Structure 1
Amino acid sequence: MRILVSGGGTGGHIYPALALINEIKKMNPQAEFLYIGTKKGLENQIVTREGIPFKTIDITGFKRKLSFENVKTITRFLKGVSDSKRYIKEFKPDVVIGTGGYVCGPVVYAASKLNIKTVIHEQNSVPGLTNKFLSRYVDKVAICFEEARVFFPNDKVVMTGNPRASEVLGKDGLKGKLSVGLKPGKKSVLIVGGSRGAKPINDAFLEVLPQVATKDYQFLYVTGEVHYDKVIDKVKEVGNPDNVIIKPFLHNMPEVLSGVDLIVARAGATTLAEITALGLPSILIPSPYVTNNHQEKNARSLSDHNAAILRLERHFSGELLLKDIDSILLNENTLTEMKKASESIGIKDAADRLYKLIKEIK
């Protein structure tokens, strides 16, 4: 089987694509892949590092209001379609999959016009412009949240979940805890704002650092590399409690996630796929700076089922953070019920479902 994949712009589009490729390789070692991205995009670094054949097109996203830049974008789109058709004819894929980001637009559109079977994968509860546009041309639309179904032609939609969920399963949680200095047998909360961190979450936690020292549970506090030095300077002023471990970044996130009892995080689609696959309770502070406010809508899909506590950034504070953590970790019934609710939402076999869909339409 030959599979062409396209997705870019953010890790939320790229990592699900890589997770799918890795899982398909396990199930079908003979499968061949080509990835189409952009030269300037994050996918250029990440995908090529994985040793996956990689081609590029030049494309930018549409502005949501009328502008001359959109005229240039249309020109780039048409050129991207032409380049994509050339790559497709050379590679001869059985299926083309788009995992989101504007780079998918010309690639998947070109495949549909060449009568190649096509699938788009929507990670969020509210789709972006590219996937809305492509849904008219593709054979199937794979979704991760039921809330996304209404945005697409119903006869094309299939609930698959996010392939990233598969990558956190089966990890050694104890090994993960020990690797970052957490004590085994003691309840643990992971506070993280994504790979670059989130200043409002950092500020809230630093605000209550003296009170944190009195807690009977432990904290793994991941600042994000860009914030780490400033956080450490602030911590030096008030002292670093014994029950707080501070890291700039985690390279073994799946293992660590498997070992903690609670996570405080943003509400990106990949994060939610991972934590629900593990049945992990969460306190979610959605980023208000994303398109269509989709993180808040992602988070509500968990909080509405009592799998998470949702706190909007504008109402968030250190005092509220500690109150919420206490309400979960100091109440065994709440902790157990939230775990069950989280696990009931999670789709652990997402990669299998998506691969099955690919084989069915091939």
Structure 2
Amino acid sequence: MDNYRFLLSGGGTGGHIYPAIAIADELKKRYPGARFLFVGARGRMEMEKVPQAGYEIKGLWISGLVRKLTWKNLLFPIKLIVSLMQARKIIRQFKPHLVVGTGGFASGPTLRMAAARGIPCVLQEQNSYAGITNKWLASRARRIFVAYPEMHRFFPREAIVFTGNPVRGKLAGTLPPQTDALRHFGLEPGMTTLLVLGGSLGAGRINRLIDENLPLFEALGLQVLWQCGKMYFDQYAHRESHSVAVRAYIPEMEQAYAAADMIISRAGAGSVSELCLVGKPVLFIPSPNVAEDHQTKNAQAMVDQQAALMLRERELEERFESTFRQWVASPAEMLRMGQRLREQGKPAATAHIVNEIEKILATDAAASRS
């Protein structure tokens, strides 16, 4: 059967969006005649990124609870009820054969209504500490695809499949030559290159750190490829020079990873999974502003394997310079660190997930025939 209908929901950050797109791409490769529909949250980045990837998306009127006391939280129950009704209408009209949830606000109402209609649902949890939406939906999922061990702390053991996180297609293959990648960004071949990533939205504290330490990087003979984020580009664009390339956003991440000799990065689940495949030395600076501090837990899982370094934001003032100098002065250990990080990678994660989805489809098809 080639004319399956797949509904996918996840968003809010790139860490939820890109895995959903990767799964859709793999399903599309196997079922060229299938139809796909994404469900996201209005006003969130998935409403832009999903159409750019070539898929249709519908938006729900949904958002999360704000942690501090605010009148906006009074709207949450109303938004949830409206979103459940919107999701029910989408499901009734689209009639999906299977629904995939990758976390984020919109996946809650979508998968809840799909499960209520008996449609098979699967979840993909990127982080080492499960998100609240996926925990809420876990009892209704046929499979829960995870990237870290011990996830039975959050989910039914019998539903868990350890697959790793899906990553953007080009990153699972061979990276371009480093010389070509450096020229792509106007940087000098032969110089040690530091890549700085603040996540899909940018990171104010990391940007400030890089801005303050540009003289240090120059003194150490490094050049910098700095993704500062669209929100911060106007603030830091003037730092562009022969040895510093400032970018609001880098769509061609395979070129960025190829250019890098060392990387400073946030520790979102998608970033960690990509960096495992890249296998280059990484210093993680987790965001402290995420639910359950999951970025710190993601980074710590790599530190425990001696596969990365980590500094918390509160440690940067006192420890960054000494840690960074020691890091640069230890090229052999940096190489070993990158190798250990690569050992944590799961290049076949997307294929593994879709293999499991195919098993569900086959089981349901056999059951309907009997």
Q: Normalized against structure 1, the TM-score is what?
A: 0.89
CA gap 1:77/1:225 in 2 versus in 1, 3 angstroms = closer
Q: Deviations over 1:143-175 (max 9, x none)?
A: 122254411111111112221254413331433
2:225 pairs with 1:216: no
Could you say what secondary structure the match of 2:130 adopts? coil
CA gap 1:212/1:75 in 2 versus in 1, 3 angstroms = closer
Correspondences of 1:1-362 after superposition (within 5 Å):
1-62=4-65, 72-164=75-167, 166-169=169-172, 170-174=174-178, 175-232=180-237, 235=239, 242-317=242-317, 320-362=319-361
* Conserved? CA contact 1:173–1:256, under 8 Å: no
* Conserved? CA contact 1:276–1:342, under 8 Å: yes
CA gap 1:221/1:320 in 2 versus in 1, 3 angstroms = farther
* Conserved? CA contact 1:143–1:149, under 8 Å: no
> For residues 84 and 229 of structure 1, what CA distance do their matches in structure 2 show?
38
* Conserved? CA contact 1:195–1:225, under 8 Å: no
Q: Deviations over 1:306-345 (max 9, x none)?
A: 111110101103x844443443444332022101210111
> For residues 233 and 270 of structure 2, what CA distance do their matches in structure 1 show?
23
Name stretches of at least 5 consecutive residues in structure 1 with no aligned partner. none
Q: Deviations over 1:196-219 (max 9, x none)?
A: 432322222332332322223332
> For residues 63 and 199 of structure 1, what CA distance do their matches in structure 2 show?
20
* Conserved? CA contact 1:173–1:260, under 8 Å: no
CA gap 1:25/1:271 in 2 versus in 1, 3 angstroms = same
How many angstroms does 1:4 deviate by?
0.7
CA gap 1:324/1:29 in 2 versus in 1, 3 angstroms = farther
How many angstroms does 1:17 deviate by?
0.9
> For residues 190 and 340 of structure 1, what CA distance do their matches in structure 2 show?
18
After superposing the two structures, state which structure 1 stretch, 149-158 or 163-172, moved more: 163-172
Q: Deviations over 1:84-136 (max 9, x none)?
A: 23322332222101111121111101111111111011111112221111001
Q: Deviations over 1:179-198 (max 9, x none)?
A: 11233333321122224432
* Conserved? CA contact 1:193–1:266, under 8 Å: yes
How many angstroms does 1:39 deviate by?
2.8
CA gap 1:324/1:178 in 2 versus in 1, 3 angstroms = farther
Could you say what secondary structure the match of 1:275 adopts? helix
CA gap 1:66/1:342 in 2 versus in 1, 3 angstroms = same
Q: Normalized against structure 2, the TM-score is what?
A: 0.87
> For residues 39 and 207 of structure 1, what CA distance do their matches in structure 2 show?
37
> For residues 112 and 67 of structure 2, what CA distance do their matches in structure 1 show?
20
> For residues 65 and 216 of structure 1, what CA distance do their matches in structure 2 show?
44
CA gap 1:277/1:66 in 2 versus in 1, 3 angstroms = same
Superposition RMSD on alpha carbons, in Å? 2.5
Query: Alignment identity in percent?
Result: 33
The number of equivalent residue pairs is 356
How many angstroms does 1:67 deviate by?
9.0
Q: Deviations over 1:26-75 (max 9, x none)?
A: 23322321111233222222223333222233223346799987675344
Could you say what secondary structure the match of 1:25 adopts? helix
Could you say what secondary structure the match of 1:225 adopts? coil
Could you say what secondary structure the match of 2:144 adopts? strand
Paired amino acid for 2:276: T
Stretches (4+) displaced over 6 A: 64-71
CA gap 1:219/1:73 in 2 versus in 1, 3 angstroms = closer
* Conserved? CA contact 1:187–1:329, under 8 Å: no
* Conserved? CA contact 2:64–2:105, under 8 Å: yes
> For residues 228 and 55 of structure 1, what CA distance do their matches in structure 2 show?
30
Could you say what secondary structure the match of 1:152 adopts? coil
> For residues 120 and 138 of structure 1, what CA distance do their matches in structure 2 show?
6
After superposing the two structures, state which structure 1 stretch, 342-351 or 88-97, moved more: 88-97
CA gap 1:188/1:288 in 2 versus in 1, 3 angstroms = same
